[in-house]
Chain A
Amino acid sequence: MNATTEYDSFFNDIPQENLAFVRKLGLIMDRVDAILKLKKISRSELAARLEKKPSEISKWFNSPHNLTLKSIIKIETILDCTLIEVPELEVEFFFADDELLNYVESSITSKSENKNIKAAYVKNEEVKMIDYPLAA
């Protein structure tokens, strides 16, 4: 493999999960940065309130360093803000098994008039979400 191919591969063959991690970390830290400026709190003050070393905080801002959910919640609490919002599960229909689902599916689809309806059912203890109307 020549150098150009190696370079192309480095910048283009990036696993989706790592790309998603960096994008989300960037969004979170940009938000923290904006709130710190708004509230006139320095990064070293944030570090002190989190009981962490300033170098640890610096890694969050300046490198792909992992930020734990506990740290995120701690920052949210200290800064009185929301950094991550998780939508609550909306369940309008609840089915017990595939057979019942298939039966109700046709009637719901015909009545839904192209409106998107959220439905959910449980199979093997796993909650599955469905959008109605289903694609033909």
Chain B
Amino acid sequence: MNNFATIIEVQTLPKVTYYTVKLTLSGIENMETEFKQFILNLKSNSSVRSHYSDLQAWLTQRIGYDKGAVESYFRIENKAQDCPNVSQHFESANKIAKGIEKCLSDGTLARK
């Protein structure tokens, strides 16, 4: 299938392994991974400093060491496609999710 994204392992903790994706877009070389873009965008933003640190602690301690990726930590977003700030990310995420599902069903990607 058309290679539009690369999946990269980021961190393995006792209860979860985190991955990120690197989108392959025509005309853009050496694009950063989604996770690195997120870090670079928020790390130096003083207005969200405390929330950023809470998120670090939550993803590491609560999910990584204590609970794992339990279903209740994920929620269905019904309005994301209508929001100008997140619609692009929503569409990318859906495209990646469909790609992963397809790779899982045709056997090119296997569950651990």
Whole-angstrom CA separation of A62 from B58 in the bound complex:
10
For chain B, residues 45 to 81, give those with C-beta under 8 angstroms from any C-beta of chain A.
50, 53-62, 64, 66-67, 72-73, 75
Q: Which residues of B contact A3 (CB under 8 A)?
A: 32-33, 36
Whole-angstrom CA separation of A63 from B62 in the bound complex:
9
- Do A21 and B54 have beta carbons less than 8 Å apart? yes
For chain B, residues 61 to 104, give those with C-beta under 8 angstroms from any C-beta of chain A.
61-62, 64, 66-67, 72-73, 75
Q: Which residues of B contact A18 (CB under 8 A)?
A: 50, 53-54, 56-57
Query: Which residue in A14, A26, A58 is a CB contact (below 8 Å) of B56?
Result: A14
Q: Which residues of A contact B11 (CB under 8 A)?
A: 7, 10-11
- Do A14 and B10 have beta carbons less than 8 Å apart? no
- Do A64 and B64 have beta carbons less than 8 Å apart? no
Query: Which residue in A6, A13, A15, A64 is a CB contact (below 8 Å) of B58?
Result: A64
Query: Which residue in A14, A21, A58, A62 is a CB contact (below 8 Å) of B60?
Result: A14
Q: Which residues of A contact B7 (CB under 8 A)?
A: none
Whole-angstrom CA separation of A15 from B61 in the bound complex:
12
Query: Which residue in A7, A23, A62 is a CB contact (below 8 Å) of B72?
Result: A62
B112 to chain A, nearest CB (A): 19
B61 to chain A, nearest CB (A): 5
Q: Which residues of A contact B32 (CB under 8 A)?
A: 3
Pairs A–B under 8 Å by Cβ, sample size 8: A6-B40, A7-B35, A10-B11, A18-B53, A19-B57, A22-B54, A22-B61, A26-B62
Name B's A-contacting residues (CB within 8 A): 10-11, 13, 32-33, 35-36, 39-40, 50, 53-62, 64, 66-67, 72-73, 75
